[in-house]
Amino acid sequence: MADKIKLTKLAECAGCGAKVGAGTLASLLKGIDVHEDPNLLVGFDTADDAAVYKVTDDLAIVETLDFFPPIADDPYKYGAIAAANALSDVYAMGGEPKVALNIMAVPEDMPREVVHGILRGGYEKVYEAGASIVGGHSIFDEEPKYGLSVTGFVDPARMWTNDGAQAGDVLVYTKPLGIGVAVTAAKAELASDEVVSAAEDAMMALNRWPADVAQGFTVHGATDVTGFGVMGHVLEMANGADVSIDVDTGAFELLSDDVLAWARMGLLPAGMYRNRRYAEAYVDAADVDRALVDVLFCPETSGGLLFSVPADEADAFVAALKADDRVCCAEVVGTVAPADGDVRIRLH
């Protein structure tokens, strides 16, 4: 019975494509005051990946929550992807996940083995991260949803934020691009089994491994690329640090040679249009292929980490990332420059 259920057919939007757009989110949060607390090092007012609360001079709690509708038909893979995506926020802050709580919504008639598969996928991915699932909460809903609330630890002196990029830095990205387009093509039954498998493998890959490598280098800023796409998350980095960022669009490793062809066909998740409306006013796309620009705006469920590191460490950093076979890929994809007017991102 379980193998007959197409989980992605039960969801209107898949994975991080269901995320509320950054512009809409900003308007919803406008006017809500953040409680002032000197120990709250990072709150929601900075558009960062997780909250950070200082406990002692050398210990802070990293707190995040993430869940979404099915991004894969296989229950186990869906659970593993959702867990990897939630854990990623802790890694993006330089932290180490410790405990997690399940968040689940399932139809009342969902077969037991399907629900079990989702939970097992989440549990085993959290176990791979060296953390523990210690409980959770579930409700009945017509559309399945799954994810985690994750608590981690970080040394406040060594935490990363998305607003630390400095002029002269380079940007390094750690997963292939095009997950959002590939998943959309799969829903249209145009993607091969090989491409679907590659997308699922990339989404299930923990960002623990590039984060571990990065601990040996100088990281000025970091974020994980998820629902707001490369452009949305790069814009948050640029705005937070008050810099401009030049993006080398040809430097990204694409998930498949078909990604651009699918984008030209219009096989784009709805989240791409939300991300474009939010960010395009700050982007100079020059004469870059429109299909590639669309891919850069697409949501990337459980995407890679984007690091801002000093230029003189970039070669050694990329080499170290590539030497770890648990890291999907590592490419220098941009440079950071002083702020220059309203244009925050220039594509080349």
Provide the annotated binding site for ATP. 19, 46-48, 66, 89, 136-138
Task: Given the residues 13, 16, 298, 328, select the one marked as catalytic.
Answer: 16
Task: Encode burial over 293-328: b for 16+ CB neighbours within 10 A, e otherwise.
Answer: bbbbbbbbbbbbbbbbbeeebbeebbebbeeeeebb
Contact 336, 167 (CB under 8 A): yes
| CA 73/CA 105 separation, integer angstroms | 16
Query: What amino acid occupies position 115?
Result: V
| CA 308/CA 171 separation, integer angstroms | 5
Instruction: Determine the 3-state secondary structure of 66 from DSSP.
Output: strand
Alpha-carbon Rg of the chain, whole angstroms? 19
Q: What DSSP string describes 76-113?
A: HHHHHHHHHHHHHHHHHTT-EEEEEEEEEEE-TT--HH
Question: Which residues fall in the annotated binding site for Mg(2+)?
Answer: 49, 89, 224
Give the residue from 182, 175, 194, 255 showing the smallest Cα distance to 8: 182
Give the residue from 294, 154, 165, 129 showing the smallest Cα distance to 242: 165
Question: Is 298 marked active-site?
Answer: no
Question: Which residues fall in the annotated binding site?
Answer: 19, 46-49, 66, 89, 136-138, 224
| CA 181/CA 262 separation, integer angstroms | 7
Residues annotated as catalytic (active site), given as ranges? 16
